Amino acid sequence: MLFLSHIGDPKIAFNIYFPVAYYLHNSVGKRVLWAAVISEWLNSVLKWLLHGERPYWWVHTSGFYKQEHVPHLQQFSITCETGPGSPSGHAMVTSAVWYVLVSDFLYYQQIQSFGLKILCWATYVIMMCAVCLSRLFIATHFPHQVSAGIIIGILLGMVMNSLATSALQLPFYLLTSFLLAFIATMTYLLLNLVGIDPFWSLASATKWCAFQEWVHLDTTLFYCIVRDISCLLGLGLAVFCCQFKKLTCRSQKTIILQVLVAVLMLHAGDRLKLNIHNIVLFYVEAFFKHLFLTFVVAAGIPVVFSLF
């Protein structure tokens, strides 16, 4: 169950699905990153607005149970996410990204077999159900939260699948990043204005998590939004730089090496410890980390390999 939750983690879309898709097919990789960014950003804004609870703290705070009858929910190291619960980010981001991957695979491989199409989409449905069940199992989400995540994610996947990524240039990336930052900031200020603490769920997670070391700042909504904006900017800068460098055709061996280098680099970057003692510095470091890593994946590694 924990493994299924891990493969549905939104960061896997940035650290694995994006680089693999990008080196196999440039425009599909860009579309995967766009799907991950927009779905995670929208998920963060919706979580702020919908104020959803999570099971592992709801059983204690809802008042539904008497103190002596509160059910014991087993927690795991990945249970204590700090953002509100609705809709599920794992379900929403993964359903959007996997939708793009499956539909683009069928399109670019020119799959005509009805049976193979059914097999691909059946696998998609089964895997999404498995990811959602894992989120229920670890007491992180309620059924309606993962259901909402899947539905919204599929709709976003359909929209992203129609995006002509090859035509997008740096000004579009800059404008979109600005709009995402502006809307998120306005949402945050509006919540404060009406007396709602945007960080209310962090306090609940900290109080009711079985072990404090299971509470991580990189699961906060602010971190997700920072990652989304910085990755989009990183990709935009890569597109701008690559237009001045004609990349040669790549062999299968080169593609495999590029994927390995990128995944290992992103894994190392994911393990990089940020300054958790200064919250502002933490988010600034996160911004530049993800911008740099995305730029290197989308431009740096391909340019270096084109020299050989």
**Alpha helices, DSSP H only, in the chain?**
2-7, 10-12, 18-24, 26-50, 55-61, 89-108, 114-137, 143-161, 170-193, 200-208, 221-242, 252-270, 279-295, 301-306
What is the Cβ-side half-sphere exposure of residue 167, based on CA atoms within 13 angstroms? 3
The phi and psi torsions of 247 (rounded to 5 degrees) equal: -90, 135
Q: Which DSSP state fits 247?
A: P
Q: What is the three-state SS of 21-90?
A: HHHHCHHHHHHHHHHHHHHHHHHHHHHHHHCCCCHHHHHHHCCCCCHHHCCCCCCCCCCCCCCCCCCCHH
135 annotated to a ligand binding site: yes
Catalytic residue among 141, 216, 277, 290: 141
- 243-246 long-range Cβ contacts below 8 angstroms, 24+ apart: 245/303, 245/306
Q: Tell whether residue 54 is among the known ligand binding residues.
A: yes
For residue 90, indicate whether it is catalytic.
Answer: yes
Would residue 51 show up in a list of annotated catalytic residues for this protein? Answer: no
CA distance 220 to 81: 8
Q: Dihedral angle at the C-alpha atoms of 10, 14, 20, 24, nearest 10 degrees?
A: 110
Beta carbons of 293 and 269 less than 8 angstroms apart: yes
Residue located via tokens 């909504």 = 221
Rounded distance between C-alpha atoms, residue 198 and residue 188, angstroms: 7
In the block, which residue shows the tokens 């070391």?
213
Distance CA 291, CA 299 (A): 12
Please tell me which residue in 60, 90, 144, 290 is annotated as part of the active site. Answer: 90
CA distance linking residue 67 with residue 207, whole number of Å:
16
Output the known binding site for substrate. 54, 135
Indicate which residues carry an active-site annotation.
90, 141
Output the known binding site. 54, 135
